[in-house]
Amino acid sequence: MKIRSIILCIYLVSRMTSFAQQPISNQLTEVHGLPSMLVYDLFLDQKGKLWLGTEEGIYWYDGFEFHGISLPHARSTAVSGIVEAPSGEILFRNFSSQVFVLSNGKTKPLQLKTKNGIIQDFKEFTRSTNGQFYFLKDSVIYTTPNPVTDSASVIWDQKVAGAPVRWLHFVVNDTLFFSEKHIVDLGDQKIYPNPFKTRATGFFENQLLQFNYANSAYFYLGINDSMSIFKDQRKTIINHTYFESTESVWLCTRDGLSNLRKGKYRTWFSGEFVTDMLSDNDGNYWVSTLNNGIYRIPKREVYWFTGNEQILQNRHVTCVQWKDNNSFFVGTNDGKVYLSTTEGKTNLVFDSKFKEPIKQILFLNPDTLGMKNQPVWAFVGHSIYFLNAKFEMINHAINASKGLTKLEANNYLFTSGDECGHYDIQSNQKTIHRFRRGRAILVQNGTQFIGYDDSLMVKTPNSNWRAVSSEQGSIVCSALIGYRDTVWIATLNQGLLTYINGRVSAQSASKDIGRGIHMKYHRGRLYISTTKGLYSIQNGQLNITNISQQLGLPQGAVPYFDLNDSLLLIALRNGLIYCNLNKIENHLESHNLDRISMSTDLKNKYDYDENELTLGYDFWNYSSNNYKLFYRLDEGPWKDHPLFPTQITINTPLPGHHVLQMSLGNEPSDAHIWFSQAFRISPPYYATWWFRVLVGLIPLLLVAFYYSHRIKQQKIRSLQELRISKAEQARQLSQLTALRSQMNPHFLFNALNSIQDFILQNDKGAANRYLGKFADLIRNTLTLSSSELISLQDEINALENYLELEALRFNDQLAWKIEIANGLDLSYYRVPPLLIQPFVENALKHGLLHLEGSKSLWIRVSESHDLLCIEIEDNGIGIKASLSQKDKNKEHNSFALQANRSRIDLLNNLYSGKLNLEIISPSQHTIGTLIRIQLPNLRHS
């Protein structure tokens, strides 16, 4: 069944579209605030905001008002070529070749960055569909992904066949630019001959076309044969082309707007100089003109229906009624009824001869009035006329009537201008219920309703007639309709009501909605024609939508309408409109408020002493719904606010966290909360948590002060003890210095003895060399011994100088070697001066001096577990043999060992016992000695 309905819908729409004369549109001119009737360019940004380039500058439209942008640096005000940068800025060009950047409501000239500097003013610029920008200046073309943030590079810097580059145009992802007689395609770097002044190109039916301004013909790119599809436009000058898709192209011409789609060609707005067009996010088309402002065309297939030979054009239609899926009746204000088909064929089937409007058309059951198995139609106008299937009148009621509805069998309920009651069609007899003007009648589930101009009367199958009222009093009913257990009541004085199980409830207080003329229920929606237009109400949500405004219908009353599963017919004072019902209802389902945009300046925090909160907002909506704005604080009552001015002032609430909610629609609704933001009012300082905590902490602070005073006294005592400790440390340093001063003369004594030996041996050369080395050694010793710590590198250098001096005394029989571990940084470590030399001296004097044969000494420096390890090893006679010597050096030996040990002990006191001295003399042999010193890097101790 669904497939059949869809096929039928497509068939009906396709059949009726061919008879469209002119689309329904809204014109915006200076009367509506348009700053200039000369509009050159239209643009829709990423947020859905509509921009206009006009003779008076650049403007944006919020659906209600036009907002201008100041151009303080412009040489001219006329604007065109509006585009958007990836970062959100708006770019446009005036007629003086100035390109501007619009950001946060302020404009400035574009300064395009290139490798040769900043350039401004461009003959043309454009943005391709892949987002790349192109700028033309003096036949040089620059390109950049974002002219606001990125630098531009040159992609073309020469004339084409001697002619300057004049225009830029992009097609899909390739950019074409034009000289006087050639076209250059940057995609493949090809040059095509162009004997015409071509400026427009585009894909159509999978072919790339170029447009010739000279004779308004389109050509395949590189081919001079004119395409026959545009033969009807040969004499029309085309200003702009809009390629909506590969199957639809729009031509903005000096004689209207033309569209070619799937082989069908249509022209709208004949006589208008059309400059540009686009489609917005809501599906509307916008068309700009050179002298008549802009037009909005709803994209829901809404057209005037004129019938064959335009028989219904500008006729005052008072009633419409579907006869079947292919035809419908049209009643007019002069007492005539026409039968029209979906193909556009229209014939007059009834003329009452009275110039009274046809108000209702009803289908009566077969067999009525003795017409066996034949349909009977009732046309309600000056009288009630009954017609057979051939539209031959078989009976009529002579009294004028306003409405007729079936009660049972041949018994009907009727209303007229001065009486209401029951009418038996078969006997043509009336039973008057009340001599009073009736406005509406209804029979729902056996219950009868008659709306008079002073009350609403109801009669159930088990009760007599009684007047029903609401909390507001008597009900003046204008239209009635029933759906299941609910009766909807449109009133003249109380808006829209419902009647359920004997109880009346208010649904909408809007008098525009309440003044209903005709109502109908379809697929869960209630449609109401009123004096203000046609409305739709979503069942259960009370989502009220002004369909007349959405469709761009002329302002004013909609006296009648009818619909089936695919088409909606709307009767107006100046003709009949038809539209695609499925597209309308799909739009109503998805529309809500998601296509409306708004930005606010609500802050997250306010001070308590701010008397008022001012909320400013920007608002734009192109659905043509006259929404109202409602707001509330913290689930409180809704308050209404006009959309303009776009500023809300709220009395500052109490300190704390709050939520501001805003709702758009005809009525406030929790289901349509469109904007919600939390904010906070800061409390005064004496009500803040930190102030209360501070007051509570005062006793604790007093206790803390007492204990802190005691701790301070303890610290003073600790500092005194520390000073005593430092004094003791200073005393130990002085002892270490004194010890070092004792060791230095001891070393001098040994060195002078060696020189004396050379002199006694009459070895002047050796004595001379020894004295030179000795002088260097003395100088280094004096320098180093004045420091508490020296680098390991300086220690090794002094040691090497000393060993070279001693090697002379041993007549080159001494073999010594200093081994440094790989990767060890000698400049990183700090050691006490002359730490190693005394141990080396002991090894030479007491281990190697008395050794016969080869004498070897090894000094190894390495790092292990963040400790510096220094080893002094010799192959001398060993400690035991050295101690057994009974010569005059015994006293010297005792002093050296004692001095070194004392020095190590003092250093451990200073550096918390971090130095370790180990002397190893293996028990399994009696020769050789190993001394190992381990210490950290004293610089970090």
What is the distance between the alpha carbons of residues 437 and 17, in angstroms, rounded to a whole number? 42
**Separate counts of helices (H) and strands (E) for the chain:** 10, 73
Q: What share of the chain is helix, strand, coil (3-state, %, to 5)?
A: 20, 40, 35
Q: Which of 297, 319, 348 is the last residue of a domain?
A: 297
- In DSSP terms, 616 is beta-bridged to 647
Which neighbouring-strand residues pair with 861? 820, 870
Max avg pLDDT among 5-14, 306-315, 434-443: 434-443
For residue 886, the model assigns a pLDDT of 47
> Judging by DSSP bridges, how do beta strands 814-820 and 855-864 pair with one another?
parallel
**584-596: average pLDDT:** 57
CA 795 to CA 837: how far, in whole Å?
9
Strand partners, 245: 248
CA distance 741 to 718: 34
DSSP state letters, 670-691:
GGGEEEEEEEEEPPPGGGSHHH
User: Distances from the Cα of 216 to the Cαs of 34, 233, 254, in angstroms?
Assistant: 31, 7, 11
Helix (H, G, I), strand (E, B) or coil at 879: helix
- Name the pTM for this structure: 0.54
Choose from 51-65, 622-636, 822-836 the range with maximum mean pLDDT: 51-65
Tell me whether residue 442 is in a domain: no
Give pLDDT, residue 236: 56
Are 847 and 759 members of one domain? yes
Instruction: Answer yes or no: are the C-beta atoms of 266 and 258 closer than 8 Å.
Output: yes
Q: Can you tell me the distance from the alpha carbon of 424 to that of 418, in angstroms, rounded to the nearest whole number?
A: 18
- pLDDT of residue 608 exceeding 80, the answer is no
**β-pair type (503-508, 516-522):** unpaired
The reported pLDDT for the residue numbered 8 is 29
Alpha helices in 303-350 (DSSP H): none
Q: Give the mean model confidence (pLDDT) for residues 527-552.
A: 78
**Rounded Cα–Cα distance for residues 199 and 303 (Å):** 33
Residues 760, 878: one domain? yes
Tokens of 198: 């071509």
Q: pLDDT at residue 202 above 70?
A: no
Q: CA 658: distance to chain centroid?
A: 25
Q: Phi and psi of 159, rounded to 5°? A: -75, 160
d(CA 730, CA 11): 111
| CATH number for the domain that contains residue 679 | 2.60.40.10
Burial class (CB in 10 A: 0-12, 13-18, 19+), 320: buried
Q: In angstroms, rounded to a whole number, what is the distance separating the alpha carbons of residues 534 and 577? A: 12
pLDDT for residue 77? 92
Residue 77 lies in a domain: no
383 in any annotated domain? no
Confidence of residue 330 (pLDDT cuts 50, 70, 90): very high
Greater model confidence, 817 or 283: 817
φ and ψ at residue 284, rounded to 5 degrees: -90, 150
Q: How far apart are CA 801 and CA 777, in angstroms?
A: 6
Mean pLDDT, residues 585-605: 59
pLDDT in tens, 342-358: 888 899 999 988 888 88
Indicate whether 833 and 766 sit together in one domain. yes
**What local confidence, expressed as pLDDT, does residue 861 receive?**
93
End-to-end Cα spacing for the chain: 94
What gap in Å lies between CA 151 and CA 167, rounded to an integer?
22
* Cα distance between residue 381 and residue 367, in whole Å: 23
Verify that 683 and 710 share a domain, yes or no: no
pLDDT of 33 over the 70 cut:
yes
Question: How far apart (Å, rounded) are the C-alpha atoms in residues 68 and 397?
Answer: 63
Length of the chain: 941
* 459 domain residue, yes or no: no
Q: pLDDT at residue 625 above 60?
A: no
- Distance in angstroms (rounded) separating the CA atoms of residues 175 and 713: 85
Q: Please give the full DSSP string across 715-782, using - where no structure is assigned.
A: HHHHHHHHHHHHHHHHHHHHHHHHHHHHHHHHHHHHHHHHHHHHHHTT-HHHHHHHHHHHHHHHHHHH
Nearest 5°: the CA angle 283, 284, 289 is 150
pLDDT at 13: 35
How much is the average pLDDT of 566-573? 89
- Residue with the larger pLDDT of the pair 557 and 941: 557
- Tell me the C-alpha distance between 819 and 293, whole Å: 96
Q: If we measure between CA atoms, which residue out of 42, 121, 592 comes closest to residue 295?
A: 42
Specify if 819 maps to a domain: yes
Place of tokens 């109801």: 458
Distance separating alpha carbons of residues 833 and 198, to the nearest angstrom: 93
689-760 and 764-785 helices, crossing angle to 10°: 160
Going by C-beta distance under 8 Å and a sequence separation of 6 or more, which residues neighbour residue 438? Answer: 402, 403, 415, 416, 417, 419, 420, 450, 451, 452, 453
Structure tokens at 292: 């008549």
906-907-910 Cα angle (round to 5): 90
Residue 656 within a domain: yes
Q: How far apart are CA 567 and CA 14, in angstroms?
A: 12
Strand partners, 232: none
Tell me the average pLDDT of the chain: 78
What string of H, E and C letters represents the secondary structure of 53-115?
EECCEEEEECCCCEEECCCCCCCCCCEEEEEECCCCCEEEEECCCCEEEEECCEEEECCEEEC
Q: CB of 582 within 8 A of CB of 563?
A: no
Considering the domain architecture, whether residues 881 and 810 belong to the same structural domain is answered as yes
> In terms of C-beta density within 10 A (0-12 exposed, 13-18 middle, 19 or more buried), how is residue 325 classed?
middle
Is the confidence at residue 643, as pLDDT, over 50?
yes
3-state secondary structure of 906: helix
Q: Give the pLDDT mean for 554-566.
A: 86
Which of the listed residues 236, 266, 297 is the one where a domain comes to its end?
A: 297
Q: Mind giving me the DSSP string for 541-591?
A: TTEEEEHHHHTTPPSS---EEEE-SSEEEEEETTEEEEEEHHHHHHHHHHH
Same domain for 635 and 753, yes or no, is: no
Nearest to 572 by CA among 303, 334, 328, 317: 317
929, 901: one domain: yes
The residue to which tokens 């680098």 are assigned? 791
Q: Are residues 712 and 664 in the same domain?
A: no
**Statement to judge: residues 812 and 919 lie in one domain:** yes
Q: Which of 297, 316, 345 is the last residue of a domain?
A: 297
User: DSSP secondary-structure letter at 160?
Assistant: B
pLDDT tens-digit readout, 825-847: 888 888 888 788 888 888 888 88
Confidence (pLDDT) at 86: 93
655 and 724 together in one domain: no
Q: Angle 712-716-722 (CA atoms, 0-180°, nearest 5)?
A: 135
Q: Which region, left, alpha or beta, applies to residue 881 given φ > 0 means left and ψ of -120 to 50 means alpha? A: alpha
The count of C-alpha atoms lying within 13 angstroms of the C-alpha of 847, restricted to the half-sphere facing its C-beta, is 25
**pLDDT on residue 665:** 67
Residues linked to residue 220 through DSSP beta bridges, in sequence order: 209
Residue-level pLDDT at 458: 94
Residue 272 has pLDDT above 60, yes or no: yes
Report how far apart, in Å, the C-alpha atoms of 887 and of each of 620, 748, 850, 882, 883 are. 114, 20, 12, 10, 10
Cα pseudo-dihedral 237, 238, 239, 245, rounded to 10: 180
Mean pLDDT of 63-88: 90
User: Do 893 and 789 fall into the same domain?
Assistant: yes
Q: How confident is the model at residue 456 (pLDDT cuts 50, 70, 90)?
A: very high
- For the chain, the domain total comes to 3
Please give the Cα distance from 585 to 526 (Å, whole number). 12
488 within domain boundaries: no
When pLDDT is cut at 50, 70 and 90, the band that residue 191 belongs to is confident
Is 179 inside any structural domain?
Answer: no
Distance CA(835)–CA(847), nearest Å, equals 19
Residues 682 and 709 grouped into a single domain: no
Report CA dihedral (618, 63, 580, 22) to the nearest 10 degrees. Answer: -160
- Write the pLDDT tens digit of every residue in 122-143: 988 888 877 889 999 988 889 9
Q: Which domain holds residue 631?
A: 597-687
- Give the residue from 742, 810, 747 showing the smallest Cα distance to 774: 747
Q: Does residue 913 surpass a pLDDT of 90?
A: no
